[in-house]
Amino acid sequence: MPTASASRFNAQTVDRLTTVNEGRRFEMELCDSEGRKILISLPLPLAVEVGCMICNLSEHAPYLVGGVHTTRESRPSR
């Protein structure tokens, strides 16, 4: 089977986050440095899974966003 060359979209900003289809899908519109946009639409369970993966990554690499490393136990309660 031939393999397709994957292109990369280097997002710089998140322009829009919303749920659609009565909350069954999560949409995220991203914009790159040249103003090009891409819309990503995920079923809600997959969006939650991706969000959890991002949270897990941020726990192991907190300085990627300039944050201070906290553990789940030391996070302030809301």
Q: Is residue 47 part of a domain?
A: yes
- Residue stretches of the chain with pLDDT short of 70: 1-5, 59-78
Please tell me the total count of domains within the chain. Answer: 1
| CB neighbour burial string for 18-45, b if at least 16 within 10 angstroms, e if fewer | eeeeeeeebebbbbeeeeeeeeeeeeee
Alpha-carbon distance of 27 to 17, in angstroms, equals 6
Q: Give the structural domain span for 57.
A: 11-65
Predicted confidence at residue 39, as pLDDT, reads: 97
The model's pTM is: 0.64
- Which pLDDT score is estimated for 57? 78
Calpha distance 78→74 (Å, rounded)? 12
Look at residue 75 and tell me if it is in a domain. no
Would 25 be classed as within a structural domain?
yes
